[in-house]
Amino acid sequence: MAKIKRVRTKPCSRCNETNDVLYRVRIEEDGDWIFVCPTCLGKVKPDNPHYQYGGTWKSKKRH
Ligand SMILES: [Zn+2]
């Protein structure tokens, strides 16, 4: 019996594409933390005074 590997992925809050790597960011003043893919990060980050970086999320955890 084959083991089913559960791949943990999250969808990007902006484009809803799942990605292996997402960035936890805040883009609104007092807004919620959201997860965005690298592509969307490049769109929301520039000229955003409320941009805050909260870490990188990866589906594959390194030990
Ligand atoms: Zn995205």
CA of 46 to the centre of ligand 1 (A): 15
CA of 24 to the centre of ligand 1 (A): 12
Model pLDDT for residues 31-41, shown as the tens digit of each residue: 999 999 999 99
Beta-carbon neighbour count of residue 61 at 10 Å? 7
Averaged pLDDT, 53-60 = 92
Sign of CA dihedral 51, 54, 58, 63: positive
Averaged pLDDT, 25-35 = 95
pTM value > 0.95: no
Spell out which residues have Cβ within 5 A of ligand 1, the ion. 12, 14-15, 37, 40
pLDDT of 27 > 80? The answer is yes
CA of 19 to the centre of ligand 1 (A): 8
Residue 26: closest CA among 48, 45, 57, 51: 51
CA of 5 to the centre of ligand 1 (A): 24
Beta-carbon neighbour count of residue 13 at 10 Å? 17
Domain extent listing, the chain: 10-58
